[in-house]
Chains A and B, each alone.
Chain A
Amino acid sequence: MSDKIDQKRREFVSVAGLAAAATVVAPGVFLQATAEAEPRSEAVTGKVRYGMLIDTNKCVDGCTDCVTACERENGLDLLKMPEGADPEEWDRQRPRWIRKVKVKDRLTGKVTTLPMMCQHCEFPPCQDVCPTGASFRRADGIVMVDRHICIGCRYCMMACPYKARSFIHEDIDEKLTVAPRGKGCVESCNLCVHRRDNGETTTACQEACKEGAILFGDLNDPNSEISQALRQQNNTELRADLKLNTGVRYRGI
């Protein structure tokens, strides 16, 4: 009988000991995790400038893999049409960070298909016109919206020469931690900024493109793949006449 009790006591003590150990160790593990995330608290530097090279020769007509991947990555696919909305109307109102566009040359008739998104200008008109400074350019070249101070005036949408921005027209039920959003604010492609902060080297659209038409990288590093590719062949800046020095460049248009 007493042996049995002792056994129970032993079991209790060992469980209690484990629990106590867990209580002591867990914060350590947690702290360790915090320590690993330390770089996030460091300011982004201008040593790098993120950008993209899009090879339209490789971009396939009718393929929307980059669009689908972007919408999944940034939670755009979680948005639901509000009850009572007209589907056609809502399609014009729902946000898109990247879209496929097909263009025909006025002289030669050559047809090109390409993905369009925020061009991450060095001198972004959206940043110039924003009254509160919510529309801003990070030191690493990423142009994005601080949704804490965006008042939803939509002047940036008027000013963007690439029609890259979307306004959130409806209530948001579900969103991803990496891409917070709220009704009444403006947003656009941020080159998967959460991936940058996690030290990843790709964007969702680049990963999704089976043809390798999208190349993402550091424009300031002369040895990066994107810098080398830009040097090798001619590339185009959309609306080069505006002299915005875009971070997104196109090949084959």
Chain B
Amino acid sequence: MKKIHYREWGIESPRYWGILAILGVLLAVGGLAALYMEHNGHWVTGMNNQIVWGVPHVFAIFLIVAASGALNIAAFSSVFGKEIHKSLGRLSAMLAMSLLVGGLLVLVLDLGQPTRLIVAMTTYNFKSIFAWNIFLYVGFLVIVAVYLFTMMERKANKYYPTAGLVAFVWRLILTTGTGSIFGFIVARQGYDAAIMAPMFIIMSFAYGMAIYLLMLMFTFKLEGRPLGEKLLGRLKNLLGIFAAAVFYFVLVYHLTNLYGTENHEYEAFILRDGGVYTALFWIGWILLGLLVPMGIVFHPALGKTHGGIIAASLLVVLGGFVAMYVIVIGGQSFPMAMFPDKVIIESGFYDGVNGQALHYVPSIWEFLLGLGGVAVALAATLVGVRVLKLLPMSLEDEIVDPRQG
């Protein structure tokens, strides 16, 4: 491999500040939405005592899952010795930290008592996966920052493989923790499944790769830095494989559920009778979020075009949001089996009378808060590439991979 030179992102100032200004507006609007919700209380949202986690959780969990996935590109080089990925590592680490910060902000601002964050940081119940996640998230930020340092500082280069391994193992544990938030909920039919943790890990691979590809193409294209077609081809193939892996996990999850009679009603709800959730599952998650992008990236002609790769990546991201919506909101909408051998025919607390789905209509404030988190993640990444030497001057194939040279 030839020596790779890194340089700060050098697009013209007006353009750079223009992009930041747009993200800044989104960020400010998100902040105001959070203030509005906290000031009034959660009654201004669509959340209620039945659907307790709404759209902010969809955004937060997507960003957190994508964060751990975005780190994979770096980890592939330090853990699996894929030299081709080494030059991509710095952006990968920066993006991972930014996405995590964006997700955590949304999560924290949706708390009933966000000012009590200090309580959450000082008072722990170690049987709670939430408490563990606080350590996993903070630890991730520290470890990835150190990892990035070992990539950038020549004197610290010798620690790079070790830091990479620690970061990779940590990210696997972190996503296991995120998946287990749902996996450990014994009360609800749609959760309570060990497969949740590995499924979240494989989802993170796909979403992280999609966002990484978009960010890489955006930054390189805008400044006119060369990006090798072979390198892009490898990355988009990985995206296709990850999407296929997600598809496999979703298939296994539902097939396993379908085998057990106790889950039939839940499966019928998600796969057939769930109205908006069924539509989102089939059209948003499976078709647009997995099958179409797979079709695009593996298509002999479409897969080679930049437009195709961008479209596939965007679809995987969109499918990721939809997947989270189906898991988080759909999973709560299905009435809990409080009386497994009985049907609830009347209730003073909206317990899913006659098996009806529980009511939730998201409010605009929830979306604005979520978008604010996305803006934080993007802005942090763009500031990072502007002030630090994260992006290689060139990713031409002959520079990245000597076998091509």
Which residues of A approach B to under 8 Å, CB–CB? Answer: 64, 67, 82, 85, 89-90, 92-96, 99-107, 111-113, 116, 125, 127-133, 149-155, 157-163, 165-171, 183-186, 238-239, 241-242, 253
Contact = CB atoms under 8 A, between A and B. Distances in A.
Interface stretch (B124-132, B298-306, B314-322): B124-132
A102 B351 CA distance: 10
B40 A125 contact: no
Given A92-B359, A167-B42, A170-B41, A157 B124 contact: no
Given A93-B43, A151-B111, A155-B130, A161 B336 contact: yes
B16 interface: no
Nearest to B337: A239
A102 B341 contact: no
Given A64-B348, A95-B49, A239 B338 contact: yes
A152 B186 CA distance: 21
11 contacts: A104-B343, A106-B342, A112-B342, A125-B186, A130-B130, A153-B112, A154-B52, A157-B49, A158-B53, A158-B185, A239-B340
Interface string B108-148: 00011110110110011101111100100000000000000
A131 B125 contact: yes
Contacts of A163: 49-50, 336, 338, 349, 351
Interface in B336-384: 336-351, 359
Contacts of B175: none
Contacts, number: 190
Interface residues of B, number: 53
B119 to A, nearest CB: 5
Contact of A93 (B38, B49, B131, B186): B49
B98 interface: no
A242 B336 CA distance: 13
Interface of B: 38, 40-43, 46-50, 52-53, 111-114, 116-117, 119-120, 123-125, 127-131, 134, 181, 184-188, 332, 336-351, 359
Contacts of B47: 93, 167, 169
A163 B332 CA distance: 11
B131 A131 contact: yes
Contact of A184 (B53, B113, B186, B341): B113
Given A92-B50, A158-B52, A101 B131 contact: no
A155 to B, nearest CB: 6
A134 to B, nearest CB: 8
B128 A85 contact: no
A104 B124 CA distance: 42
Contacts of A90: 43
Contact of B112 (A64, A93, A107, A150): A150
Q: State the 6 A-B residue pairs at the shortest beta-carbon distance, nearest first.
A: A152-B112, A184-B112, A161-B187, A131-B130, A99-B348, A102-B346
B124 A102 contact: no
A4 B349 CA distance: 74
Given A104-B343, A131-B128, A152-B112, A99 B349 contact: yes
A189 to B, nearest CB: 12
B403 to A, nearest CB: 49
B349 A116 contact: yes
Contacts of A95: 49
Contacts of A167: 42, 47, 49, 52, 112
Nearest to B359: A92
Nearest to B348: A99
A106 B124 contact: no
Nearest to B42: A169
B346 A168 contact: no
A183 B345 CA distance: 32
A168 B336 CA distance: 21
Contacts of A169: 41-43, 47-48
A78 to B, nearest CB: 15
A186 B345 contact: no
Contacts of B123: 132-133, 149
B125 A184 contact: no
B334 to A, nearest CB: 12
A45 B254 CA distance: 46
